[in-house]
Structure formats: structure tokens, C-alpha cells
Amino acid sequence: MHDRLNGMDPSKIAASSFGSGTQGHAHHDLSHLTAFSRTGQVITLALANGILVIAVIFGFMMMNNEATANAIVLLSIGGGVSAVSLVVAFLVPKMIRSQAASQLRQSADGIDLRNGVGLNAPSAEQLQRWGEWQRQSPAPTALRSFLNQDQTATLIGQAILEGSAVINLVFAFLDGSWLHFAFVLVAFVALVSTLPTNGKLNHRIESALGAG
């Protein structure tokens, strides 16, 4: 991808905006940002597909099963696992991203760039410096570290959610209760909602550099 982009006129690369903080100023797209978001999208869809496949297999195996007398016990456990997983899958990534944002702000790149992000009326010099930085490939070390940590945070949250879904599918197979699939659906939707996009990553970068 980088070889292909290096041979292109930067002005022809799709422009993107860093949100309301820049009030519509166009910036050149970050090739590395797209690579990070696409990698995350592939992983997210693979995990979501895994849940669907396992759910279909277990559902087929349960076709002739009847709920056991102790189904309420596993349903309670499954519901508890689902609730705890949702909370942990939200808090842990948030903590990782908070630490990553702090490191980015304190880095030499972050200190140099913060004045060009999140301002209502940035100077022409700031806009030029910000635009030139966006076209660099690879990205500054500090930003690559931030994106790596953001990706790690997303994967951890997704792993927790998938674990919750698999646990409830196993419980469903053991006690024959289809109610477990409601917990599986919640985990599936929550996992898909974490799908990374350029817009989400742009917003997190802007928030990290513009905070404080």
C-alpha cells in the first residue's frame, strides 16, 4: 500500500477531516490510519463470524434437546457473565486508551502538534504543519504507538465479548435453554459495534491531542 501511495500525488489522496474541532478543514488521508482501521475491521468481522458459526452449529445440535431442570442455574451464571463482560469490555479498553492518549500528548510529536488540533481558528502555519505531518508515511513514532495501543484495547474488549458469547453457547448446549442465545446476541452486537473505522480513529487522535 505504501509503495502505491508513494507514487501518487498527495493532493489526489482522499481528503479527510478531523471532526468538528477543525471545522471542516480538509486534510489528506493517513495511509497508515487506513491500514490500522482495515486490519481491525478484518479481525472484528472474523471474530463476529466465529460467533455466528459456533451459534449455528450449537443451535443445530440443540434442535431435539429439552431444557434441563437446572437450566435456571446456568442461565443465572450466563447472565452474570454477560453483564460483567460488557462492563469489563468497556472499562479495560478505556483505561488503555486513556494511558495511550496521555503518552501521545506528552511525546515530542504530540507537544508539537497539539496546537494544530481541536482549535476553532488555527493559524495558516499550524494548518500547513498539520497537513504535512498527515502526509508522512510512516507516521511519527508516537502516533504509531498510540494506534498500536488503541488496536490492542479494541482486541482485548472484543476477546472478552467473544468469550462471553462462547460461554453462553456452551451453557445452552449443556442445559438446552435457548435463552442463552439472548446473551450471545448482546455480546455479538457489542462486538460488532467496536468495528474500527477511520472516523473513530480520527476522533480518538483529535481527542488525545486536543485534550487538556
Helices 71-106 & 141-175, crossing angle to 10 degrees? 180
The whole-chain average pLDDT of the chain stands at 77
Number of C-beta neighbours around residue 184 at 10 A: 25
Digit-coded pLDDT (tens) for 23-62: 333 344 444 677 888 899 999 999 999 999 999 999 998 8
Residues in the chain: 212
What would the grid cell of residue 176 be? 438446552
pLDDT of residue 115: 58
- β-pair partners for 28: 15
Q: What is the pLDDT of residues 104-161, one digit of tens each?
A: 888 876 776 665 544 443 444 544 444 444 444 556 677 788 889 999 999 999 999 9
Q: Give the H or E element holding residue 144.
A: helix 141-175
In angstroms, the CA 46 to CA 35 distance is: 17
Q: Which three cell numbers stand for residue 151?
A: 488496536
Cell of 33: 490510519
Q: What is the pLDDT of residue 125?
A: 52
Lowest mean pLDDT among 47-51, 74-78, 170-174, 197-201: 197-201
Range list of H helices, 62-115: 71-106, 108-113
Residue 126 is predicted with a pLDDT of: 47
